[in-house]
Structure 1
Amino acid sequence: MRPYWCVAVAAGVLLVSACGAAGSGAAGSGGPVKLAFVYATSSQNPFQEMAFGAKAAAADIGGVDLALSAPTGINGPQEVTQFLSTIHNSKDGVALETLTPDLFVRPLNQAADLNVPVVAVDTAPPAGTKVGLFIGNSNTELGKALGEEFVKQVPADATGEVVLGNDIPGLGLLQQRLDGMRSVIKAKRPGLTISGPFDSGSEPTSNFNNWNDIVKAHANAIAYLGVGAQDAVSLALIQKNTGRKFLAGSCDPDTSALQAVKDGYVFALASPEHWLKGYVALRLLAERAKSGKALPTGWWNTGSLVVNSANIDQIIARQHDEGSRKAAFKAETDRQLANPSGYLRPLAEAN
């Protein structure tokens, strides 16, 4: 019997059943395992990508009831409420992605008290919790990769202003990207002046409005660089609206951002490859629930990718739909799952 999807939506929770020949039920239980992925918002590309990966993993292993839940906009307290509900309903394991980790110390400890295994995804688990596994890319290296793409665009003796934007000031992983990017620019293009980071806003409307104001306030800058999913989209639209051409770069393979690379408005995107995070996290939780295989501990670095004019057509094709993503990532997921030790480092080294 081939896997199939059964979908029900209620109160912001998506329940996905993946049933197939791989078997069903937690070890010795005879029924489907109950897993969940709780994430920061359903309205933005990075988190949608992780959810797609989680769904693909559930389908591949079979015999999984997967509950997906997220606020419709970034709302930490609401996500906490959803997580607390989830740990009572999906006792075989929960993957958690959050942009407000400090709110989750007590909820994560409640999950531990209930013996519900939790894997942190994208954002490292906060101090004071018992979460032993974090699935995420190196954001410092991601920022450096975008910085390396930027310095290719300007001569070694270039002067002028480079403006940085930060979608969520105070969020550690975005600051790591900024620090990585800044370190490359300072070292390789010392004649440039770096301004910011300025608050560019995370939701689409606020991001566009904030960048519009930033560009007007720094009208002579040669480049505007962001670290979030909406930045490239907004910066491309500003160029279209004003007729002005400037260097723009950011992160995440949002559909509109990919088109901006294709059209020449954005020189590069640094992709954290969010799909891989969701897939690996759910696959490990499912294998633990179904076979008793212990979860590894530490930081599992799933890697990242630079998207530019050289590979844009390939990545647009990859991102076409859920099936194309799954097919394109199969070789990489097989490689990582076959050799966990090659991707694991101590949790304290996560950057």
Structure 2
Amino acid sequence: MSKFSKLKGVICGLSIVMGTGLAAGVQAEDQNPLPFRCEPGETFYMNVMVSGVEYWFPVYEMMKQAAEQMGCDTVYTGTPEYDVNKQLASFEQILARNPAGILLHPMNPDPFIEPINRAAEMGIPVVTFAADSPNSNRVSFITSDNNEEGKYAADAIAEAMNGEGEYAVLENPGQDNHDKRVAAFIARMESNWPNMELVARAASNQDPTRAYNAVMSMAQANPNLGAVFMPEANSALGAAQAAVELDRDIKVFNADVNAKILDMIKAGEIFGAVNPNQGIQGYMGMMMLYLASRPGMIDPMNDYQRSGFNPMGVPFVDNGFSIVTAENADDFYWGDYLERRGTRGINE
């Protein structure tokens, strides 16, 4: 079995630094019926950038599932444009509603430090997912391991090219998780695949047209270009279109999937994708928010009472990821998932 064939079926497991706290809370429910139940009307919000991006939908679907199991309400919010100021404005609108907690994907880390810290001062816990604001007072960060995603992508491409050839990257500078994926991808190539040569890189900024033009230019300047990696899905649409029109074996590999990406993977137009387990991000995000909103439920053996911080301190939750190829692409369609769950999506 080749190295790549092993990668195809890999789903990294969920790891949480919590010990047995959740299990203990559930076991104690018979003696104390209070834990894990919201008050009537208690509402948790999810806030994202570019709210129409399909990536968020399974995250929110599983956030809703966890909330429903505990009798909580949820609201999906964000901004339709790739604009950090507009996302900040939408975050401020949530704060004005005094929510029980916010599950947040910050477009950029630093602009959200002050708003997140202010939310914490107001008693509103914030959990980040997929992208982080690490210098803020968010109570937890839930994501797949972006470094591992970049490594797996590099190994998959290099293995398919027999460890030798030219590759390029498209990127989205400034978004924390995207930067990590690209850096890990390049570092893995340099350390493990010395005969793979990086010949070009360009900022496509999640724009399919920019990605298309970039790959066209890269291929013209580098006739032996054999692969292009990008840390998100939108750029893959343009990159794959360019590869098809060039009629050259340029392997397009990206992170995240949607229906169009899956169709192109099945058609052989995109080589493969690495996809975080989005539903786990939403489910565990809701669980973290619930616990953080009830600090009295948790009494760890540390100095939280003296220092005054929220005892629900879970700095990092790894939701795992999947490698998506033509063999398993059918398992990742949003519409099929909704049908299986018997729901109508984010607006239900």
TM-score (norm 1): 0.75
C-alpha distance 217-292 of structure 1, shift in aligned 2 (>3 A): farther
**Is residue 2:186 matched to residue 1:182?**
yes
| C-alpha distance in 1 between matches for 2:215 and 2:56 | 22
The letter of the residue matching 2:288 is L
Given the alignment of the two structures, is residue 122 of structure 1 paired with residue 130 of structure 2, yes or no?
A: yes
Corresponding position of 1:104: 112
C-alpha distance 201-33 of structure 1, shift in aligned 2 (>3 A): same
Question: What is the 5 A alignment of 1:148-227?
Answer: 148-156=155-163, 158=164, 160-166=165-171, 168-227=172-231
Residue 327 of structure 2 is aligned to residue 304 of structure 1: no
Cα-to-partner distance string for 1:192-225 (whole Å, 9 max, x where unaligned): 2113431122134444344444444434311111
Separation of aligned partners in 1, 2:75 and 2:167: 43
- Aligned-partner residue type, residue 134 of structure 1: F
Match of 2:144 among 137, 147, 157: 137
Task: Read off the aligned partner of 2:161 and give its amino acid letter.
Answer: V
Q: Secondary structure in 2 aligned to 1:45?
A: coil
Q: Which has the higher contact order (CA 8 A, sep 6+)?
A: 2
1:310 CA displacement: 3.3
Give the aligned partner of residue 248 of structure 1.
Answer: 252
User: Are 1:53 and 2:62 an aligned pair?
Assistant: yes
The 1-side partners of 2:255 and 2:342 are apart by 21
* Counterpart code for 2:338: E
Q: In structure 2, how many angstroms separate the alpha carbons of the residues matched to 1:214 and 1:49?
A: 34
How far apart are the structure 2 equivalents of 1:263 and 1:292? 53
Cα distance, 1:132–1:196 mapped onto 2, change above 3 Å: farther
Distance in 2, matches of 1:126 and 1:273, equals 21
Q: Is this contact kept in 2: 1:27–1:292, CA < 8 A? A: no
Which residue is equivalent to 1:63?
A: 72
Provide the residue aligned with 2:15 in structure 1.
none
Structure 2: segments with no counterpart, 5+ residues = 1-33, 299-311, 344-348
Distance in 2 separating the partners of 1:49 and 1:212: 33
Find the residue that maps to 1:269 and give its secondary structure.
strand
Residues 138 and 61 of structure 1: is their aligned pair in 2 closer, same or farther, counting only changes over 3 Å? same
Q: How does 1:330-341 map to 2 (within 5 A)?
A: none
Distance 1:32 1:72 in 2: 27
| Cα pair distance change 1:204/1:137, threshold 3 Å | same
Contact residue 46 and residue 229 of structure 1 kept, 8 A: no
> After superposition, what is the alpha-carbon deviation per residue over 1:36-82, rounded to whole angstroms, capped at 9, x for unaligned?
01111113233334333323333343331x12111102111111111
Q: Does 1:268 align with 2:285?
A: no
Q: 2:236 aligns with which of 229, 232, 235?
A: 232
Inter-CA distance 268–28: structure 2 relative to 1 (3 Å threshold)? closer
Q: Provide the rounded CA distance (Å) in 2 between the counterparts of 1:251 and 1:303.
A: 13
1:273-331: CA deviations, max 9, x gaps?
22321221023324555896453421111111111233223334x7624354799xxxx
Q: Per-residue CA shift, 1:244-268, capped at 9, x if unaligned?
A: 3321111111211111211112222
Q: Structure 2 vs 1, CA of residues 275 and 197 (structure 1 numbering), >3 Å: closer, same or farther?
A: farther
**Identity percentage over the alignment?**
19
> Equivalents in 2 of 1:238, 1:209: separation in Å?
8
Q: Name which of structure 1's ranges 217-226 and 257-266 shifts more when overlaid on structure 2.
A: 217-226
Q: How many pairs align? A: 297
Kept in 2, the 8 Å contact 1:186–1:192? The answer is yes
Q: Tell me the TM-score normalised to structure 2 length.
A: 0.76
The yes-or-no answer on 1:44 pairing with 2:53 is yes
Structure 1 CA distance for aligned equivalents of residues 63 and 218 of structure 2 = 36
Amino acid at match of 1:115: G
Please name the residue that 2:25 is paired with. none
Deviation at 1:119, TM superposition (A): 0.8
CA 1:288–1:171 in 2, change beyond 3 Å: closer, same or farther?
closer
- Give the aligned partner of residue 259 of structure 1: 263
Structure 2 vs 1, CA of residues 250 and 319 (structure 1 numbering), >3 Å: closer, same or farther?
farther
**Residue equivalent to 1:19:** none
Distance change in 2, residues 1:215/1:61 (3 Å): farther
- The CA RMSD measured in Å over matched residues stands at 2.8
Unaligned runs of 5+ in 1: 1-24, 328-351
1:315 matched to which residue of 2? Answer: 332
Distance 2:161 2:36 in 1: 57
SS at match of 1:222: strand
